[in-house]
Amino acid sequence: MFSILAVDDDQDIVDLLAILLEGAGHRVHGFTSSRDALDFARLHRIDAAILDVNMPPPDGIELAQLLQADPRTCLVRIAFHTSWPEDIVRAAFEGTALHLMKPASGDTIVAGVERLMHA
């Protein structure tokens, strides 16, 4: 079981990610605020973060950069679940380990997280 941060400004997406990933045996910590998610991650062990890109500041790319820059969270594996094209996301954040294009199926999300955690 992995501890996963799910961050999207749409609560329905956060809830969907939680249902899917908890159903696969993971612990999910969902947030609609990047700042709240970052504060949580700095205090708890997180294995991975699934981030939307287009959110109020800090956006998903900025949040990923903050996670990677902090010694307490620098080992968190980063995935983006977004409607932005993969090449734009990768150009903005080189540490992307997984890109899930919205709308992604539940099976795609779960399989992607499994690949991310076993890479």
pTM, 2 dp = 0.89
Give residue limits of the domains in the chain: 3-104
Answer whether CATH 3.30.70.260 is correct for domain 3-104. no
- Tell me the pLDDT of the chain (119 aa) as tens digits: 899 999 999 999 999 999 999 999 999 999 999 999 999 999 999 999 999 988 999 989 899 999 999 999 999 999 988 877 765 666 556 666 677 888 888 998 999 888 888 87
Opening angle at CA 34, ends 94 and 41, nearest 5: 80
